[in-house]
Structure formats: C-alpha cells, structure tokens
Amino acid sequence: MNSNQIKIAVIYQSKYGSTKRYAELIAQKLNAEVFSVHAFDASSIDSYSTVLFGSSVHIGKVKGIDFVKKNWNALSKKKVAVFASIGASKIEPKHQSVIHASLPVEIHQRIKYFPLPGAYNYSKLDFADKLLMNLGPRTNLRIRAWFKGDQKAKQQLAVFCQTQDWTNPEAINPIVDYIRMA
C-alpha cells in the first residue's frame, strides 16, 4: 500500500474532554479523519487502512472498548491502535494491564495500546462518577493515609477534589510514530 492509499480514522469516546483533545491532536498530526464513536458509521470501516480508537480508563478498563470487539472482523485486517486517557500524571509499564483486562488475548496481542496522562476535575463529575470515585479511589486513599500512614496517599487525598490536568500534547508522539511506521 503506498502513502496515497493510507486513510486513517481516529474514533474516540470522551465524557469530560481530555480524550477528545488527544484525538483531535492525533488526527491533525496524521492528517486523519476524526469521529466521536457515537457519530461514526461502522459500515464505513473498510474504507480505512488504519483505525485508532481512543477513550478513557474507567474502573480498570478502556471505556467503550466494545467498539473494537464488535468490529474486530473488519478491524483485524487493518493497523489498529487503542489509546486511553488515564488518571495519572506519569505513564508506567503497569498501565498496560488495562488493555489485557479490556480485550480478549487474541485481540489485544494484535493491537498496540497507548495509555496517556489524562485529566480530572472532581467538581465537574456527574453524580454517578462522584459516587464511584468516593467508593473506590477515595476510600482506598483514606485507608492508606489514615490507617497505614502512607504519605503519598495523604498528598493525593489533599488534592482529590481539585482540578488535575496532566494532559500533554507531546504524549501523543509515540502513537504518531507508530502509525507512521510502515
């Protein structure tokens, strides 16, 4: 396939906007078409040679990853990458475990996964997300901070209700390089 035939789709799902920003930046760099997953017509997948799916990590899994599962028949013939905004400032090897939890092995071993530093604004979360964040991460932090004296947990707890934006335009560079690779 020569470069004239390479047509790229960046399809994203984003509740609070950080993944949307990354999707638009990636599309701009790669000269790709960008769609919200809700507006994307899956019957048009065959007109793309490369597909990127982007979303956020939600309770340990890539939100909306069913898009990849449902369309795997068509996607399996293409170059596919998944990226996801996460609730952390620094990307570490352990963050790869999310894709293992999100997709069956026969699919995740065929795609490349890129976690990206996301953003978090407690005051803008809807009721259900606030509840989940309090029941899960905030309770864990409290246990670590109050009962185990964990200093890092104390610091995270102190800023839990503040806006935290770790997004970084340079974080997309490995994705862009991977897609440009023959």
Ligand X SMILES: Cc1cc2nc3c(=O)[nH]c(=O)nc-3n(C[C@H](O)[C@H](O)[C@H](O)COP(=O)(O)O)c2cc1C
Question: Least Å distance between CB 116 and ligand X?
Answer: 8
Nearer to ligand X, 54 or 107 (CB): 54
C-alpha 11: how far from chain center: 11
**Can you read off the two tokens belonging to residue 49?**
């040679």
b vs e for 99-109, b when ≥16 Cβ sit within 10 Å of the residue's Cβ?
beebbeeebbe
**Minimum distance from CB of 20 to ligand X (Å)?**
6
Nearer to ligand X, 50 or 85 (CB): 85
Cβ atoms of residues 86 and 95 within 8 Å: yes
Q: Which is nearer to ligand X, 59 or 182 (CB)?
A: 59
Place of tokens 């599962």: 69
Q: Residue with CB nearest ligand X?
A: 118
Contacting residues toward ligand X, per CB under 6 A:
14-19, 56-60, 85-88, 118-120, 125, 129, 132-133
